[in-house]
Structures are given as structure tokens and as C-alpha cells.
């Protein structure tokens, strides 16, 4: 039997605080979502000034990254590369950069999704949150 690593509430709070700090340092109004390895929402916060739609997009990006075990940008690149049929994949909605998988020892523990600024900046915020775990 294998041992499965999971995100605990303390981990989620650490990620959220670091991601929020990165966003505030840059004056970026975003929504931040954290999901477990099955894409189930563990945390959602919408910073002051963030667009309401960002609270829908951030969890979708995180969900996509967790289920795919890789950054959501991979799927954006697939679609932009001409494989439009990938848009029909079931339950995959966050096909934009800004969802980053939380990986440890080859296992996906979950993902962070951010929405509200440029996609690369969204990913920067997500990575800052994950980096706080020291993985």
C-alpha cells in the first residue's frame, strides 16, 4: 500500500498567505483558489478590486492543473497550437495560464489557480504561494 501526501489546512493557509502577499506587493487585484488533488475547492479568496468573474476563473484553472497534474498553461498551448478538439475534454474549463500544480516527489497534492491580471502574472502569484511550502 502506498502513502499518499495531502495538503493540510496549515499548508493551504501558508500558500494563500504567500500568494496574497505576492499579489499585494504588485498591487494586483486577483482571486486565488486552492484545490486538492481531485480538484475540490479548499480555499477561495477574492482580493479587493478583483473582477467578479475572476472568482470563477481561478478555481477552474486550479481544477485543470490538479486533474492534469501539470500547469494549466500546457492546455492553453495545446489549444493555441491548433488542437481545438481539446476544448471538448469533459470537466476541463480552466484552459488558461495561471493554474499551477502542487507537486512533491512526483505526486500531485493539489493546485493553485489565480485570475485577475495577465496570465503570466497569475502564474507568478500561484508559484509564490507554492514556494512558501518549500517544495
Whole-number pLDDT of residue 124: 98
Average pLDDT of span 15-23: 98
pLDDT tens digits, residue range 30-60?
A: 999 999 999 999 999 999 999 999 999 999 9
What pLDDT score does 91 carry?
Answer: 80
pLDDT at 133 over 90: yes
Residue 86's pLDDT is 81
Handedness of CA 71, 42, 30, 87 (dihedral sign): positive
Give CA–CA dist 7/24, Å, rounded: 24
pLDDT digits (tens, 9 = 90+) for 58-114: 999 999 999 999 999 999 999 999 998 888 888 888 899 999 999 999 999 999 999
Q: What is the pLDDT of residue 3?
A: 87
pLDDT at residue 119, as a whole number? 96
Whether 19 has a pLDDT exceeding 90, the answer reads yes
Mean pLDDT of 103-128: 97
User: For residues 75 and 43, what is the distance between their CA atoms, to the nearest angstrom?
Assistant: 23
The end-to-end CA distance of the chain, in Å, is 24
> What is the spatial distance between Cα 86 and Cα 109, in angstroms, rounded to a whole number?
25
C-alpha cell at 112: 493553485
Phi, psi of 115 (to 5 degrees): -145, 140
Amino acid at each position: 500500500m502506498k502513502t499518499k501526501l495531502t495538503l493540510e489546512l496549515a499548508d493551504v493557509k501558508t500558500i494563500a498567505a504567500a500568494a496574497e502577499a505576492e499579489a499585494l506587493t504588485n498591487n494586483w487585484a486577483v482571486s486565488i483558489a486552492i484545490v486538492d488533488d481531485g480538484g475540490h475547492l479548499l480555499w477561495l479568496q477574492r482580493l479587493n478590486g478583483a473582477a467578479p468573474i475572476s472568482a470563477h476563473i481561478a478555481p477552474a484553472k486550479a481544477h485543470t492543473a490538479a486533474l492534469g497534474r501539470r500547469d494549466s498553461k500546457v492546455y492553453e498551448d495545446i489549444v493555441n497550437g491548433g488542437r481545438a478538439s481539446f476544448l471538448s475534454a469533459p470537466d476541463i474549463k480552466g484552459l488558461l495560464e495561471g493554474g499551477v500544480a502542487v507537486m512533491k516527489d512526483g505526486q500531485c497534492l493539489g493546485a493553485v489557480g489565480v485570475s485577475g491580471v495577465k496570465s503570466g502574472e497569475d502564474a507568478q502569484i500561484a508559484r509564490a504561494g507554492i514556494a512558501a511550502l518549500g517544495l
